[in-house]
Amino acid sequence: MSTVIILAPLIIGSWPAISAAVMAAAVGLGLNVSEKVKEELQESEVTNEQVVEVELENSQVLASQVASGKEMVLTKDGITLRVRRDERGHCKVCAEGKGYSKTELKQFAEEFMQKLTQCFVYHRTITELKNKDFQVINEDVAKDGTIRVHVRRWTD
């Protein structure tokens, strides 16, 4: 053994990189992507729904023309999640759904953001390791959702 480090992830990337992780997280949690990207943000048309907004900690969606005014809309079991870049550049998830309490919506949004974080870190790390000629030796997902990857490379 050499060294073991524990890291708290930072989610910093362009909107395309973030949206790719959003798509992966949506697939992982069985969410439907009803609208991939909206050109303009719109106010929620339904007023009798509970709405909860949760910000993704340590996130930064890099500013670009592509990112401004766009969001991804995901749905499952009557809950709608809207993922977008807020004014400060952070990634924000807004959950709304008729018949759900604010606590339930917050829990759903937080579960989604954890999955989003996991997918973002996985794709970023694996891509960079492969660029450094590392080969994936083993990869598995534990019952609790933990992803384990073993990579290797040979050097002179």
Partner 1 sequence: MAQHDIEITISKTGEVRVHIKGAKGKSCMDYAKWLTQLIGTVKDQKLTSEYYEPDEKARIKLQQELKESL
- CB 122, min distance to partner 1, A: 6
> How many other C-beta atoms can be found within 10 angstroms of the C-beta atom of residue 149?
15
Question: What gap in Å lies between CA 84 and CA 44, rounded to an integer?
Answer: 14
Number of residues that bind partner 1 (CB under 8 A): 38
- CB 129, min distance to partner 1, A: 7
By the rule CB under 8 A, 90 interacts with partner 1: no
Q: How far is CA 63 from the centre of its chain?
A: 17
By the rule CB under 8 A, 117 interacts with partner 1: yes
Kindly report each contact of residues 40-47 with a partner whose C-beta sits within 8 Å and lies 24 or more positions away, as own/partner.
40/69, 41/69, 41/70, 41/71, 41/84, 44/96, 46/96, 46/98
Question: What gap in Å lies between CA 70 and CA 152, rounded to an integer?
Answer: 39
By the rule CB under 8 A, 23 interacts with partner 1: no
- In the complex with partner 1, the residue whose CB is nearer, 35 or 133, is 133
Among 99, 102, 128, 130, binds partner 1 (CB under 8 A): 128
Question: CB under 8 A: which stretch of 30-38, 41-49, 67-75, 128-136 binds partner 1?
Answer: 128-136
For residue 21, the one-letter residue type is A
Which residues are at the interface with partner 1 (CB under 8 A)? 1-10, 58, 114-115, 117-118, 121-122, 124-125, 128-129, 131-132, 134, 137, 144-156
